[in-house]
Structure 1
Amino acid sequence: MNTAPVRGAGTDDVVRMTKVLRTYGNDRNRVVALDEVSISFPRGTFTAVMGPSGSGKTTLLQCAAGLDRPTGGSVLLDGQELTGLDEKDLTRLRRERIGFVFQAFNLLPALDVAENVALPLRLAGRKPERGAVDAVLDRVGLGDRKSHHPGELSGGQQQRVAIARALITKPAVIFGDEPTGALDTRTALEVLWLLRETVHQGGQTAIIVTHDPVAASHADRVVFLADGQIVDEVYGASADRIAERMTHLGAWGDRRTAGYAEGAV
């Protein structure tokens, strides 16, 4: 059983996961997606989560965001324990305290930019404060595009709209699932700089899942998963260092690293 302390735990954690277990299937074909993971994400930080396919990255993000229910353990988000909430309360919390940015921009083509940004508030039965939509669009550099529709924008501009939509509720945390996966390299870098600025100047917390070492290098911290467990984390690492660490993930990588160490003795 994993009895390690919560990684990075502090008094100002926006998200704290404690011994989170997520399994699928029954006793005969049980699959462990997360194996008692404990980790925290402090306020005002930008974390990238990486790992090979099937390592548990997306499951970790979904459990942290209340999109999936853990089989066991605890998830605390902005002081609220998620595991005991019913679907109605989870939906309300997601709308008010969480922003989402996905690889697919998920904008509604019939709505203009301003209407897409205001949508989370409308769904929650609230009206945007006067000037709030304009302010957040200015923040992402699209103040002159508020009357345009998604089809009139480039991919990078659409992702900026998605970020503005994530920010409009002033969330405690922004979750991103491959937020630059559909963008070209230059546009992806612009979006990553925007996310980084949002964290460091706006005080938001951002957690993204990515397979791209360049994208991960823009984060303050990179967390590595393998076989449903956190196996390492690095701070302020370059893309080359992150890519090198990715090649040694999992049991095979551990054995290979151990073999090198024994051969060097």
Structure 2
Amino acid sequence: MNTTIRLESVRKVYGHDNNAVVALGGVDIGFERGTFSAVMGPSGSGKSTLLHCAAGLDTPTSGSVRLEDTELSGLNETQLTLLRRDRIGFIFQSFNLLPALTVMQNILLPLQLAGKKPDQALVDEVIDRVGLTNRVHHRPAELSGGQAQRVAIARALVTRPAVIFGDEPTGALDSKTAREVLLLLQQAGAGGQTIVMVTHDPIAASYADRVVFLADGHIVTELQHPTAEAVAERMTHLSELVEQRNRAAAAAVGGV
């Protein structure tokens, strides 16, 4: 499999000296093309920081973040902005739609900003896939929460990004609508798209191919082909896993 995003020895420290907070403590992880990964962990575990560093929204204190053949640390802010616009899609809990624009205009906005001509066949296919064919002339105020999130998914897909990052994309939706949105993300992954989603919800995570668990800025464990029950159980025992990891690390240091 081809790796779309790879983080190597990524540390992120906020503040200095006695006020320093280590958000990520040396993370190594890759996200393969055509996979749907969920990132979970307790509050303050570093999951949002991981997403922001992987997406070029934040700069690691040290380490490497590579998007396909591009090393992000070598890019200036203008280059990062262009990379995010052209090669990364985002889906947020708050939808981030422009209220004055129609559904179609919101979906096409990234292409318009990039000065690119839309591939109308792809646009039509994406709009049909997310079930918005009869809503393209509506504005966000006329949509339900689920429909608004479908617009955000379509907007992320039409640019053919290398990876789509979701930050709690179902957090504001009811369970039925959340399921529909997660199925769309699952289908996008099965279709060759790389999806990385931060979530706190074991049910949402169960739609992913893999769940990565963070605690105290470190990846503690992973779960392949997850079920909601297995995810919830792993989260419940995360503190025990952290203790085991710390003991193993201390033993390794003591054995050197």
User: Normalised by the size of structure 1, how large is the TM-score?
Assistant: 0.90
TM-superposed deviation, 1:35: 0.3
Indicate yes or no: 2:166 matched with 1:176. Answer: yes
CA distance in 2, matches of 1:24, 1:129: 42
Give me the whole-angstrom Cα distance separating, in 1, the residues matched to 2:122 and 2:33.
Answer: 23
1:106 aligns with 2:96: yes
Q: Over aligned residue pairs, what C-alpha RMSD do you find? A: 1.4
One-letter identity of the residue aligned with 2:52: Q
Alignment partner, residue 254 of structure 1: 243
Check conservation: 1:114, 1:133, Cα contact below 8 A: no
Residue 31, structure 1, aligned to residue 8, structure 2: no
Equivalent in 228, 237, 247 of residue 239 of structure 1: 228
Aligned to 1:216: 205
Aligned to 1:204: 193
- Partner residue in 1 for 2:10: 20
Tell me what 1:7 maps to. none
Contact 1:227/1:250 (CA < 8 Å) preserved in 2?
no
What one-letter code is carried by the residue in structure 2 that aligns with 1:208? M
1:124 shift after superposition: 1.3
Instruction: Tell me if the contact between 1:247 and 1:253 (Cα under 8 Å) persists in the aligned partners.
Output: no
Asked whether 1:230 is paired with 2:186, we answer no
Is 1:65 aligned to 2:55, yes or no?
yes
CA–CA separation in structure 1 for the residues paired with 2:152 and 2:44: 27
The percent of aligned pairs where both chains have the same amino acid is: 63
Number of equivalent positions? 245
Shift of 1:253: 5.9
Distance 2:230 2:95 in 1: 30
Amino acid aligned to 1:27 = D
Where 1:59 maps in the other structure, the secondary structure is helix
For the residues of structure 1 that align with 2:229 and 2:240, how far apart are their CA atoms? 22
Indicate if the aligned counterparts of 2:215 and 2:242 stay in contact, CA closer than 8 A.
no
Write the letter of the residue equivalent to 1:15: I
Task: Deviation per CA, 1:182-234: give whole Å up to 9, x if none.
Answer: 00000000000010001102x10000000000000000000000000000000
For structure 2, the residue ranges without an aligned partner over 5 or more in a row are 248-256
Instruction: Specify the code of the residue in structure 2 equivalent to 1:109.
Output: P
Match of 2:133 in 1: 143
Task: Give SS of 1:116's match.
Answer: helix
Regions of 4+ moved over 4 Å: none
Deviation at 1:251, TM superposition (A): 6.1
Matches of 1:53 and 1:251, distance apart in 2: 16
TM-score by length of 2: 0.93
Q: Which amino acid aligns with 1:220?
A: D
The equivalent residue for 1:93 is 83
CA distance in 2, matches of 1:121, 1:134: 14
Cα deviation, 1:89-136, whole Å, max 9, x if unaligned, reads 101111111000000000001000000000011111223133443222
Matches of 1:219 and 1:25, distance apart in 2: 34
**Distance in 1 of aligned mates of 2:68 and 2:89:** 13
